[in-house]
Amino acid sequence: MNNMLDWNDYKVVLQIAEAGSLAKAGQLAGSSHPTMFRKINAVEEKLGVRLFERFRTGYRPTAAGEEIVAVARQMADLTTETERRVAGRDLRPSGIVRIATTDTLLLGLLAPAIAKLRQAEPEITLEIIVSNEISDLSLREADIALRPTSSPAQHLVGRKLGIIKQAVYAPQHLCRAGSGQQHLGTCPWVGPDPTMIYPQLHSWMEKHGYDEACVCRMNTTLGMHAAVRAGVGLAALPIYLAEADPELVRLGDSIDDMTIDLWLLTHRDLRRTARVRAVLDYFASSDVLLSRLGQEHQS
């Protein structure tokens, strides 16, 4: 029997170790739980040793498993570094560029700019990865990320496009335009649910007592925006998303406690790749994107 591991075997072990369970590993790998179960059993059979302890809460590497995981990480790093360097030899702006961003940034900023990019760079095909979790560019989940962050990872390079500002918005009929901040606590609110990763919003709402006035909670900013449009209550929303919505009324100035930088990021090895460079340069100078980000019209 061939007991030599190949790269796919190492990759399976690494995926399970990083995911912590077969179900999540299968989801990330585009595979099923039974398939991952068969694969890890086959790897363990090749080696004749158990690589994971099975618990109800998930899979944990054994001592032998940790050794395989360490080697797998080295192989993955070498593979991705080689791919980046080869991709960096591209000399013309053509091919696929994968962009990771959030659903809110896609709708409010990126989508209108994409249409004009298609006219400027017709040979570039964009693949948009929408996720409200931070994508890891070092693992080549994406070539470029458009993300709100106060401290970009050190292994990434890019530029700050501007500042994302938030303000309180209400449906037209619910609260009078121009209502003072002192009256906001008497209105129903739409807020983030506990699973939404948005510490600034959670902290701000708790600080002002608006969390106690919540009648509806959402796990995405787009969900909160939709609820306000439907007349459920008030919410703190990005100005770039809500300002142009005729169904909403802005109450007061932007919220100083909730400003955050918007960054356009890529990996160091990809920044000189022609297709990646073309997309970076376009979005960094896009009138459509920057004008929406910088709008400060007062209601």
- Dump pLDDT digits (tens) for 220-260: 999 999 999 999 999 999 999 999 899 999 998 999 999 99
Q: Which residue(s) pair with 186 in the sheet?
A: none
Q: Residue 136: its pLDDT value, please?
A: 54
Q: Is the pLDDT of residue 95 over 60?
A: yes
Q: Is the pLDDT of residue 195 over 70?
A: yes
What mean pLDDT do residues 266-279 have?
Answer: 87
- Name the residue with higher pLDDT: 118 or 181: 118
Q: Residue 180: its pLDDT value, please?
A: 43
C-alpha dist (Å) from residue 197 to 10, 104, 133, 219, 232 = 32, 14, 8, 8, 22
In the sheet that holds 124-130, the strands lie side by side as 124-130, 95-101, 144-148, 260-267, 156-164
The DSSP annotation for 25-41 comes to HHHHHT--HHHHHHHHH
Gap between the Cα atoms of 263 and 157, Å rounded: 9
Among 132-136, 169-173, 266-270, which stretch is predicted with the lowest mean pLDDT?
132-136
pLDDT for 50-66, tens place per residue? 999 999 889 999 999 99
- Name the residue with higher pLDDT: 92 or 204: 204
E-strand stretches of the chain: 52-55, 58-61, 95-101, 124-130, 144-148, 156-164, 166-171, 189-192, 214-218, 235-238, 248-251, 260-267
CB 251 within 8 Å of CB 169 = yes
pLDDT for 8-36, tens place per residue? 999 999 999 999 999 899 888 888 989 99
Percentage above 90 pLDDT, the chain: 52
pLDDT for 274-295, tens place per residue? 899 999 999 888 877 887 776 6
Q: Residue 179: its pLDDT value, please?
A: 44
Burial class (CB in 10 A: 0-12, 13-18, 19+), 287: exposed
List domains and CATH numbers for the chain.
7-87 (1.10.10.10), 95-155+267-283 (3.40.190.10), 166-258 (3.40.190.10)
Q: Is the pLDDT of residue 88 over 70?
A: no
Listed residue (86, 83, 72, 69) closest to 20, CA to CA: 69
Measured from the Cβ of residue 48, the count of other Cβ atoms closer than 10 Å reads: 8
Instruction: Tell me the pLDDT band of 213, cut-offs 50, 70 and 90.
Output: very high
